[in-house]
Chains A and B, each alone.
Chain A
């Protein structure tokens, strides 16, 4: 494999063919914010927070998945890039409860996002809490739709396909097939999705309820009852 020469923020750099702009930039110690990207998964290129400006390109390019080309000239922090990132984080903050996503909040602060600009009368993500199994809760009000859980559940790790994407546009969301409760899905409770979730939308059940003031004894009782109900011997 041959190497590729490109310029990042005016700095000439040589990287192996097939590298992404993000990898090339990290070699130069340049920080590019990422949200949906996970090093072990296929980049879905959808949060767009990592966008950079490639010279002569019509639109910005996602650094996490764009492969470097010879002679490419990249700006990782131009005014256009900053405007896009600020706007994206603003939109995200205006739609999703980011209280459990400190990393994204930090980005939002760094880029000066002002989500309040969109006003109060706007549509936000709203879902009931799914507490339908003993292991983890699904609080999709906090979901940023990064797809990591779906990838972890499916082709990038577990090959179980218990959760999928459903709905379109603003109403796109993660769901089990036909919205069945998790115990009725193909879920094997491997926990890969919980590990991968960057926003706190998926959380171990115990952690969630402890955070919400339930004590351990009470929690154990509730889940035992549920388990018994599920196995059909609630005598």
Chain B
């Protein structure tokens, strides 16, 4: 079912007005945290709420926060010279990942454009609990309106005392800076994002150490997706019990899905976890155009997998998607009807990964290029559908081997998932 938990304010409040935000319950959560006599319970509550990251990796948000709070400060003070002066005295950092570059994903943009104060409040809550004094929003470069609204919101929040020194109490200071991406998909990967903020090449670091131990400027860092942050004010105010009323037992809460492709009403819809995919496509997104039939669904973005038409009844929750070998990923749902050229889609995906590989590690640097070349060879001079016999078993094995090596040996999630969608199309016989 559609359920407006975190998108309730979108289109209802004026995103440029902090008074409007306050009138709709804004900053009550931050007030509650700042007034509390003990703060451990908030992080316990977040853990108990069962919120997991919405950026793709689905890691427990509460656990992440707890790990960062518990991390040993790694630097002797004063911090090394190479950390810019104004960041040196923040013992940890809070970062909002708003790079949103997963193909078919546009939910973060709507949240930032429609309710920027909510994200700022959530980051401020997190900063208070993790004793961070500096936060960053890493914003996709192609989002000028979000940039404008965020910049405005940050300025207003500062003027009204919700950012800067003495936020709601004498001993709490926190401020947020925006960093704009320059169009590289890889800079959405958390450690590449840190490198980018530090002014280096956007290349992922080997993990571990994880960001909660050594993140931005080698300090413990809490990095979350925009949608993840959007859940935090609600959970902070209402508690885990209230949050768990929504969704399934293992996937509490809601999720914003981004439907695109051959649907009649493509768009972003906030749904309760566990809503069947069929309901999203047929009811919310208005189904296919008349006289078209469903060919396949790409779920989770370019790093996701294809579903067959007969898998459309799967409930959209982490556990049920897991059970059929799919992932929720970024929440992207690309609908392909019978007019879509599957081979073209696969080539596009392969080209995307080839173009977006940062080139740091060998398997992805060479593997994404080879994957594309193999697919190009397979499709050369052929039209839409191939017969089973058109593909030599050796070529197919080579494609699978290349994919397996990338998945097993790549340094970051890009290379590890670069073959998922493509191989799933073969596994499910969507192109033969």
Binding site for B on A (CB under 8 A): 43-49, 51, 59-60, 62, 65-67, 80, 83-84, 87-88, 91-92, 94-95, 117-119, 121-123, 144-145, 165, 167-172
Contacts and interface: CB of A to CB of B under 8 A. Distances in A.
A45 B411 contact: yes
B396 to A, nearest CB: 12
A71 to B, nearest CB: 15
A168 B357 contact: yes
Contacts, number: 111
21 contacts: A46-B362, A46-B411, A47-B361, A47-B362, A48-B363, A51-B409, A62-B206, A66-B208, A83-B401, A84-B408, A118-B398, A122-B370, A145-B362, A167-B359, A168-B357, A168-B358, A169-B359, A170-B366, A170-B369, A171-B359, A172-B365
B70 interface: no
B365 A48 contact: no
Interface of B: 184, 201, 206, 208, 354-363, 365-370, 373-374, 377, 394, 398, 401-402, 404-405, 407-411, 416
B361 A48 contact: yes
Contacts of B359: 145, 167-172
Contacts of B367: 91
B360 A48 contact: no
Given A118-B370, A145-B365, A169 B405 contact: no
Contacts of A44: 360
A172 B360 contact: yes
A169 B362 contact: no
Nearest to B206: A45
A59 B409 contact: yes
B363 A91 contact: yes
Nearest to A53: B408
Contacts of A165: 201
Closest 7 pairs between A and B when the two form their complex, measured CB to CB? A172-B359, A87-B405, A169-B357, A45-B206, A91-B366, A170-B369, A48-B409
Contacts of A67: 208
A122 B367 CA distance: 12
Contacts of A168: 184, 357-359
Contact of B368 (A46, A59, A119, A169): A169
Given A59-B416, A88-B362, A91-B367, A51 B373 contact: no
A30 B235 CA distance: 51
Contacts of B404: 83-84, 87
A144 B359 CA distance: 11
B363 A118 contact: no
Nearest to B376: A121
Contact of A170 (B361, B363, B368, B416): B368
Nearest to A58: B416
Contacts of A48: 361-363, 409-411
Contacts of B409: 48, 51, 59-60, 84, 87-88
Contact of B365 (A45, A122, A170): A170
A121 B308 CA distance: 34
B408 A51 contact: yes
Given A91-B367, A118-B398, A170-B369, 13 more contacts: A47-B361, A47-B362, A84-B409, A87-B363, A91-B366, A117-B398, A122-B370, A123-B369, A169-B355, A169-B365, A169-B369, A170-B365, A171-B359
A69 B192 CA distance: 25
A80 B408 CA distance: 8
Given A45-B206, A91-B405, A169-B359, A118 B411 contact: no
Given A48-B411, A169-B354, A88 B363 contact: yes
B164 to A, nearest CB: 36
Given A45-B206, A117-B394, A118-B373, A59 B363 contact: no
A119 B402 contact: no
B370 A91 contact: yes
| Residue of B358, B367, B401 ringed by the most chain A CB atoms within 10 A | B401
A7 B189 CA distance: 32
A67 B210 CA distance: 13
Contacts of A123: 369, 373
A87 B208 CA distance: 24
B415 to A, nearest CB: 9
A177 to B, nearest CB: 13
A170 B354 contact: yes
A87 B401 contact: yes
Nearest to B413: A59
A62 B201 CA distance: 22
Contacts of B358: 168-169, 172
A119 B377 contact: yes
Nearest to B203: A165
A46 B361 contact: yes
A46 B408 contact: no
Nearest to B360: A46
Nearest to A118: B370
A46 B364 CA distance: 10
Contacts of A167: 359
Nearest to A60: B408
A49 B363 CA distance: 9
Which residue, A84, A95, A144, A170, has most C-beta atoms of chain B within 10 A?
A170
Contacts of A65: 206
